[in-house]
Amino acid sequence: MPAPDREYDRVMAYDERLAERIRALVADEPNVTEKKMFGGLAFLVDGNMAIAASGQGGALVRVDPEQSDALTADGTASVAVMRGRPMAGWLRVESDRLETEQALRAWVERGVGYARSLPAK
């Protein structure tokens, strides 16, 4: 069988330490659940994904699609590509950009804030 050639098929185990750090930051948030998805471990608020420890490394953060360009302008994050298509509103943040608690907290708060703005599922 040939090797997979689609980006979403190339998945590794998610960073469990990152997942623990995210879990600690959302511990006091109401209605947060965890779900394995996108090859990683996602944290959902009222059923909407907020942030995930990605199976491709780093984090996948859900944001307002209209803010994608502004949030990626400094190179800290990039628009996630899923099934070959860039997906505004889904940002990939590499692990080295999440090393400090302050940096991770900012992305967690951004993802949680956006998820809370959506209708509950």
Q: How does the average pLDDT of the chain come out, rounded?
A: 91
Q: Across-strand partners of 48? A: 45
**9 vs 19, higher pLDDT:** 19
Determine, yes or no, domain membership for 111: no
Confidence at 4, pLDDT banded by 50, 70, 90: very low
Domain with residue 16: its CATH number is 3.90.1150
Domain holding 36, by residue range, is: 7-99
Residue 33 has pLDDT above 90, yes or no: yes
- Rounded CA-CA distance 24/105 in Å is 10
Only one residue has tokens 């420890």, namely 53
The structural domain count of the chain equals 1
pLDDT of residue 13: 83
Coil vs helix vs strand at 12: coil
Contact between 50 and 112 under an 8 Å Cβ cutoff? The reply is yes
pLDDT of residue 82: 86
Determine, yes or no, domain membership for 84: yes
Residue 7 has pLDDT above 90, yes or no: no
- Rounded CA-CA distance 8/4 in Å is 9
pLDDT of residue 12: 62
pLDDT tens by residue, 59-97: 999 999 999 999 999 999 999 998 899 999 999 999 999
Tokens representing residue 49 in the block: 């994904």
Determine, yes or no, domain membership for 48: yes
Tokens representing residue 20 in the block: 């623990």
pLDDT of residue 6: 44
